[in-house]
Structure 1
């Protein structure tokens, strides 16, 4: 199983690092199996949060700048990952299970218990970001927790407007932050899922049949490189001031490259006309979706 690090900005997102997670009992406790798969002898067991910490530190040491890190519950429950981010003064919005505890006004409570204390007037409706069919609207609340520690810490609570289902995030920042900032970072966490979808659908991230250490790293690295290339090309295109077309997306760029670089069955003019037609109709569909899902 791979653990991946994605980098997300307003211009785009891509996968920038990977680590192979090997379970301790089924893999590393079996030297013969590891030898057949080519696992290096010095490989030791590391949890997924430990692998994530190593990738984040490597990215920061390489000069990549970021103010925030986000991840799911596996990473939100690990105190060592949180401590490493706090030491580097990097904020985080990490998902949290409902039964995890935090200190509120000097009392240890679960996240679900803290949510039950939120009054109706303290819920605020904000968008977690634009999706394919409009803004992802939820009700949000927050509470200051663990205020005896340095920095600023909050429990962020998300409630579905349709089902009432709750989700929780443990948040940290070295300086005070508004609620909308935490909501925005919580929404950006989906960048990792979007990157997986793009990598699998466009560059074949999961199109391999290998059971070896080196082949896995070779295939995954090349797929990540291809996705990063497409993401950079998409980020460098000039804006469409008329808003009549959807911007060139990663799938559209991959499609154009395949037509233009492989043996041609269509002329260049016909290829570009089809691309313009697709993106124009995608823009119309997106406007219709946004209008239908809009709220006063």
Structure 2
């Protein structure tokens, strides 16, 4: 049954993106590629590689005429149709994809998803977490200054002449703008400390009146209510023991349940009906392990809601790992910039099919959704001392 549901969802996606391919051969090859990536690990859709030769697949990624960004938008719309909910989360993360060729587009030395240090391409991803599941809805290739090649080499790896590197917050802003324009329903934006510690993304989100929970470091500084600057960890160390709250044992979000939480109001000029806080989560079994977050949202936002959003970030890691293991997100050596976007977009399509199929199975066998259930979301529950 599950195999049939997955195939039904992939067929639905194929119909949705039909118009994005100018030639039927490219369209057929693209879905052979997707079926191969999805089936390679799970062995549910195909047991052998696609019939097309490797050079045909490379042509699909490098030169075939199809609208890559149009497919990206169709995948996003499909995910929202299946998973969308007003309490959804937009989660920002990145993954280092190992490369064997130093002449690939956007390479830099970093730690890969396997923990090894090597030549990588850094993908920045926007993940949507809705009531039934989660999936990647946008992607950008980070192009560091070291990844801008000599003028003679730029055409080889597909980097336009004179292209300037964009920092990661700028890439994130572009993805969020597309999500906003596409009518994606969501309640919060969340990201890890790579994006939380800079003021650029914080300022941009506040200018767009977008609630956020952004992870930061303990050594970062914030402006307090009395206007002075203070280190984050020093502020939290000053919180009285009775101000830490533990969530109820049956709270649905795993990470929230295993931490105690507190928050401190920050900044002295709140916008009308809005609030800004420093949130901290302390591991119950290891009190020395504390996570810190900058938060912006409705002034009536509760500690419970902030902690639930912060704890839900584990879904980001889970989604990217699923994309890696089940949809071939890192299973290609993309030498050119276009090939990276083409492969990643088709991987997103495969992951969207798997997520949609899982959502259908959950919907059939579950009486309620994680986001519809007040018990699962924790948005209506009180913390206990």
> Shorter-chain TM-score: which interval?
0.7 to 0.9
Does the C-alpha gap of structure 1 residues 17 and 241 become closer, same or farther in structure 2, counting only changes over 3 Å? Answer: closer
Q: Does 1:92 align with 2:215?
A: no
CA distance in 1, matches of 2:257, 2:150: 46
CA distance in 2, matches of 1:180, 1:241: 25
Q: Please point out which of 193, 200, 203 is paired with 1:80.
A: 200
Does the C-alpha gap of structure 1 residues 96 and 241 become closer, same or farther in structure 2, counting only changes over 3 Å? Answer: closer
Does the C-alpha gap of structure 1 residues 118 and 28 become closer, same or farther in structure 2, counting only changes over 3 Å? Answer: same
Instruction: Tell me the equivalent position of 2:189.
Output: 69
Q: Please point out which of 103, 123, 134 is paired with 2:244.
A: 123
RMSD, aligned CA: 2.1
Structure 1 residue 174, shift from structure 2 partner: 3.8
Structure 1 residue 242, shift from structure 2 partner: 9.1
Question: Does structure 2 retain, via aligned residues, the 8 Å contact 1:14–1:231?
Answer: yes
Q: Number of matched residues? A: 240
CA distance in 2, matches of 1:135, 1:117: 22
TM-score by length of 1: 0.76
Question: Does structure 2 retain, via aligned residues, the 8 Å contact 1:66–1:90?
Answer: no
CA distance in 2, matches of 1:33, 1:95: 38
Where structure 2 has 5 or more consecutive residues not aligned to the other structure, the ranges are 1-121, 369-385
Q: Please point out which of 179, 195, 198 is paired with 1:59.
A: 179
CA distance in 1, matches of 2:327, 2:260: 36
* Secondary structure of 2:190 counterpart: strand
Structure 1 residue 193, shift from structure 2 partner: 0.8
Structure 1 residue 229, shift from structure 2 partner: 1.4
CA distance in 2, matches of 1:39, 1:112: 42
Question: Does structure 1 retain, via aligned residues, the 8 Å contact 2:137–2:348?
Answer: yes
CA distance in 2, matches of 1:38, 1:86: 35
Structure 1 residue 192, shift from structure 2 partner: 1.7
Structure 1 residue 31, shift from structure 2 partner: 2.6
Question: Does structure 1 retain, via aligned residues, the 8 Å contact 2:247–2:256?
Answer: no
Does the C-alpha gap of structure 1 residues 242 and 78 become closer, same or farther in structure 2, counting only changes over 3 Å? Answer: closer
Q: Does 1:207 align with 2:327?
A: no
Superposed CA offset, 1:72-127 (max 9, x none):
11111222211221122210000011111112231321101111111110111127
CA distance in 2, matches of 1:170, 1:3: 21
Instruction: Tell me the equivalent position of 1:276.
Output: none
Instruction: Tell me the equivalent position of 1:232.
Output: 356
Superposed CA offset, 1:43-87 (max 9, x none):
321111111111011110111122210001111122221122112
Q: Please point out which of 277, 284, 297 is paired with 1:161.
A: 284
Does the C-alpha gap of structure 1 residues 242 and 141 become closer, same or farther in structure 2, counting only changes over 3 Å? Answer: closer
Question: Does structure 2 retain, via aligned residues, the 8 Å contact 1:67–1:91?
Answer: yes
Instruction: Tell me the equivalent position of 2:303.
Output: 179
Structure 1 residue 136, shift from structure 2 partner: 4.2
Structure of greater relative contact order (alpha carbons < 8 Å, 6+ residues apart):
2
Written as runs of structure 1 = structure 2, the 5 A alignment for 1:1-296 is: 1-24=122-145, 26-28=146-148, 30-41=150-161, 43-106=163-226, 107-126=228-247, 129-131=252-254, 136-150=257-271, 151-164=274-287, 165-237=289-361, 238-240=363-365
Does the C-alpha gap of structure 1 residues 16 and 155 become closer, same or farther in structure 2, counting only changes over 3 Å? Answer: same
Structure 1 residue 35, shift from structure 2 partner: 2.4
Does the C-alpha gap of structure 1 residues 242 and 4 become closer, same or farther in structure 2, counting only changes over 3 Å? Answer: closer
Question: Does structure 2 retain, via aligned residues, the 8 Å contact 1:104–1:144?
Answer: yes
Question: Does structure 1 retain, via aligned residues, the 8 Å contact 2:263–2:280?
Answer: yes
Structure 1 residue 29, shift from structure 2 partner: 5.3
Where structure 1 has 5 or more consecutive residues not aligned to the other structure, the ranges are 244-296
CA distance in 1, matches of 2:162, 2:337: 13
